[in-house]
Amino acid sequence: MLRLKPGADLSNLDPVMIPAMFVVETIYDAEDLICVITAGRDGEHQVDSLHFAKPLCRALDFRTRMIRRSVAEEIAKKIRAKLGKDFDVVVHLDKAGEVHHIHVEYQPKGEVHA
């Protein structure tokens, strides 16, 4: 089941991210995990983040609470394989080195993001 964290903003989401959300959900479900989108156009991200791409948001973050780093890396690997080369999938860590979230962004290769 796909859930949305209260306050997460999916406004102006690039349509290409819709099927990506369901790919992530399917992989989480296979791991018996609840798939929660924690950030879209909201949250604290780098200034040039694709979360804030114009005109459309091209990045989403997915909760990894209670997931070991090795499991999160394996999930990210599966997401990468399903989404293909035009998506970047990164396991983000917090300052303590614990898994914070899985970041999925659409950035077609050959495209430069300014």
The reply to whether 113 falls in a domain is: no
The reply to whether 111 falls in a domain is: no
Helix (H) or strand (E) holding 34: none
Instruction: Provide the domain count of the chain.
Output: 1
The reply to whether 114 falls in a domain is: no
Strand 2-4 relative to strand 99-106: parallel, antiparallel, unpaired? unpaired
Task: Please list the pLDDT of the chain residue by residue as tens digits (114 residues).
Answer: 899 999 998 988 999 999 999 999 999 999 999 999 999 877 666 666 776 667 888 899 999 988 999 999 999 999 999 999 999 999 999 899 889 999 999 998 866 555
The reply to whether 81 falls in a domain is: yes
Place of tokens 């989108």: 37
Q: Domain of 60?
A: 2-106
Distance CA 19, CA 21 (A): 5
Q: Are 79 and 102 in contact (CB under 8 A)?
A: yes
The reply to whether 9 falls in a domain is: yes
The reply to whether 33 falls in a domain is: yes
Whole-model pTM above 0.75?
A: yes
- Residue positions counted in the chain: 114
